[in-house]
Amino acid sequence: MALLSYLSQTSSSTSTSTSNTPNSIHDKTSRLTVEQQQLMEAWIKALPNIQELKNQHPLLWTQSQQEILQYSSTKNIYKVLDDMEDDFTWWKEHVFDSHRDIFPPTVTLGCSTDDDDNDNNNIVPCFNMEGFTWAMAIVMSRAYFVEDALRLIPMLDMANHDPIGTVEIQCQTVGT
């Protein structure tokens, strides 16, 4: 959700919430330095968009393509999709709809450049089902377990996306 929260940052006003409210993630991202914000925006722009992922990630495949995975011995694709829809519904009812000023359905990434055909090139879905599905696909395909928690680490997440080969990262604990 931190990824989606960062995306909403450009569309929201300054928040005065405490750390145990739904706004706490937004409060943390709004305290990023200008350089950190620019790095995060560059990283987010480098991530594949929904159209680019449609042929690459099962969450975004067509129903006929997903049907092939239905009988997988590891995890039923329709169960994954149903669970994701249930999660989104909960977030929508309890957080997104209550705080649309912080969690808009779409956001605009950065400014238009002279190369852009129109301003809509930088508008992306965010706190709606399409944006939620994109975020889940990004996390499922790019996150690593670090210190027993699933983490999405900017730039490191791209290490396993070389179309020619694969990369295995091995970590060791240093110190006591």
Q: What is the pLDDT of residue 48?
A: 84
Q: What is the pLDDT of residue 62?
A: 87
Q: What is the pLDDT of residue 34?
A: 86
Structure confidence by residue, pLDDT tens digits, 23-54: 444 555 567 788 888 888 888 888 888 888 88
Q: What is the pLDDT of residue 33?
A: 85
Q: What is the pLDDT of residue 16?
A: 38
Neighbours of 100 (CB within 10 A): 13
Distance CA(3)–CA(63), nearest Å, equals 27
DSSP 164: S
- For the stretch 91-98, contacts whose Cβ atoms lie closer than 8 Å and that sit 24 or more positions apart, written own/partner, are 91/1, 91/127, 91/132, 92/127, 94/22, 95/22, 96/127, 98/22
The amino acid at residue 117 is: D
Q: What is the pLDDT of residue 14?
A: 35
Q: Which residues on neighbouring strands pair with residue 83, listed in sequence order?
A: none
Which segments in the chain show pLDDT lower than 50?
1, 5-25, 111-119, 165, 167
Q: What is the pLDDT of residue 164?
A: 53
Q: Are the beta carbons of 4 and 132 closer than 8 angstroms?
A: yes
Q: Are the beta carbons of 133 and 84 closer than 8 angstroms?
A: yes
